[in-house]
Amino acid sequence: MRSARMPSRTRLDRFLAANTRYSRREVRLLLAQGRVLVNTEQATAINQVLEPFDTVVLDDVCLRQHEAVYLAMNKPLGVVSATDDPQHRTVLDVLREDPQCPLETDLLASLHIVGRLDKNTSGLLLLTNDSQWSEQLMQPDSKIPKVYEVTLQHPLDERYAPAFASGMHFSYEDITTRPAQLEILSSHVARVTLTEGRYHQIKRMFGRFRNPVVALHRCAIGSLPLPAELEPGCSQAINPALVDSGLTTS
Ligand code: URA
Q: Kindly state whether residue 224 falls inside one of the protein's structural domains.
A: yes
Amino acid sitting at position 214: V
Which one from 85, 118, 157, 174 is the annotated catalytic residue?
118
pLDDT in tens, the chain (250 residues): 333 455 567 899 998 998 899 999 999 999 999 999 999 899 988 889 998 788 899 998 888 877 889 999 999 999 999 999 999 999 999 999 988 877 778 788 889 999 999 999 999 999 999 988 998 898 878 889 999 999 999 999 999 999 999 999 999 999 999 999 999 999 999 999 999 999 999 999 999 999 999 999 999 999 999 999 999 999 999 988 888 765 544 4
Kindly state whether residues 85 and 187 are assigned to the same domain: yes
Is 37:99 a contact under the CB 8 Å cutoff?
A: no
pLDDT at position 6: 56
Q: Which atom of ligand 1 is nearest to the CA of 213?
A: 3
CATH number at residue 40: 3.10.290.10
Q: Kindly state whether residue 1 falls inside one of the protein's structural domains.
A: no
Cβ neighbors of 27 (< 8 A, separation 6 or more) are 13, 16, 17, 20, 46
Determine the distance separating the centroid of ligand 1 and the alpha carbon of 134, expressed in angstroms: 19
Q: Burial code of 35-49, b = ≥16 C-beta within 10 A, e = fewer? A: ebbbeeeebeebebe
Instruction: Tell me phi and psi for residue 147, to 5 degrees.
Output: -110, 130
Kindly state whether residues 78 and 54 are assigned to the same domain: no
Instruction: Give the total number of structural domains in the chain.
Output: 2
Q: Kindly state whether residue 2 falls inside one of the protein's structural domains.
A: no
Q: Kindly state whether residue 153 falls inside one of the protein's structural domains.
A: yes
Instruction: Tell me phi and psi for residue 240, to 5 degrees.
Output: -60, -25
Kindly state whether residues 131 and 216 are assigned to the same domain: yes
Cα→Cα distances 10→54, 66, 108, 119, 185, Å: 10, 14, 23, 37, 51
Ligand 1 environment, Cβ below 6 A: 117-118, 121, 200-203, 216
What is the domain range of residue 60?
10-64
CATH number at residue 190: 3.30.2350.10
Q: Kindly state whether residue 59 falls inside one of the protein's structural domains.
A: yes
Segments of the chain assigned E as strands: 10-11, 36-38, 41-42, 49-50, 56-58, 61-64, 70-75, 112-114, 121-128, 146-152, 169-170, 175-176, 181-186, 189-194, 213-221, 224-225, 235-237
Kindly state whether residues 175 and 234 are assigned to the same domain: yes
